[in-house]
Copies of this chain bind each other. A is one copy, B any other.
């Protein structure tokens, strides 16, 4: 059935971020729509950012495109160029290989609901702008190359 029953798809706030970097995404509740609906060429997440929650720490992917569209509520998109308010219907693209660390922050009092899509090499690498993490596949590393014990969830 192509039309998705969102309520029937597991919603989780799971994260692979090692402490203390997990705190900011505790209010990020998401459903992985791709595996639930048979998609193999892209990842699609339905995300609810509760007030105060971040979508991630500011990061980029070396070889994966990302795209987001806001369905309801609002969020601040923070990247190397500044802070940009996104409201319902607003879209943002993050091309693979552009090391412009980005994330969304819900600084409002209402939930922000969005769709996030990723395509490309899901086992690839990338980095974080503001914290001592790099990633490759399901592994996190310090910027000196020392691995973290935590497993990333690609």
* A contact residues vs B (CB 8 Å cutoff): 1-4, 6, 33-34, 37-42, 44, 46, 63-65, 67, 69, 71-72, 77, 79, 81, 84, 86, 88-96, 98, 100, 102, 113, 115, 117, 119-120
Cβ–Cβ < 8 Å partners of A84 in chain B: 1-3
Q: Which residues of B contact A2 (CB under 8 A)?
A: 77, 79, 84, 92-94, 100, 102
A95 to B117, CA, bound (A): 15
Name the B residues within 8 Å of A81 (CB-CB): 1
Task: Give CA–CA (A113, B89) in the complex, Å.
Answer: 9
> In the complex, what residue of chain B is closest to A46 when comparing beta carbons?
B91
Given contacts A3-B86, A42-B42, A71-B71, contact A37 B93 (CB under 8 A): yes
How far apart are the CA atoms of A46 and B115 in the complex, in Å?
14
Q: Is A88 a contact partner of B71 (Cβ separation < 8 A)?
A: yes
Q: Are A93 and B6 in contact (CB under 8 A)?
A: no
7 closest residue pairs by CB, A with B: A37-B93, A41-B120, A38-B95, A42-B119, A41-B65, A119-B119, A41-B119
Chain B hits for A100, CB < 8 A: 2
CB distance from A102 to the nearest CB of B (A): 6
- Provide the bound-state CA to CA distance between A39 and B3, in Å: 26
Q: List 28 A-B contacts (CB under 8 A).
A: A1-B81, A2-B79, A2-B92, A2-B100, A3-B90, A3-B92, A4-B90, A4-B92, A33-B91, A33-B93, A38-B95, A38-B98, A39-B67, A39-B93, A39-B95, A41-B63, A41-B64, A41-B96, A42-B65, A42-B117, A42-B119, A44-B67, A44-B93, A44-B117, A69-B115, A71-B71, A72-B89, A119-B119
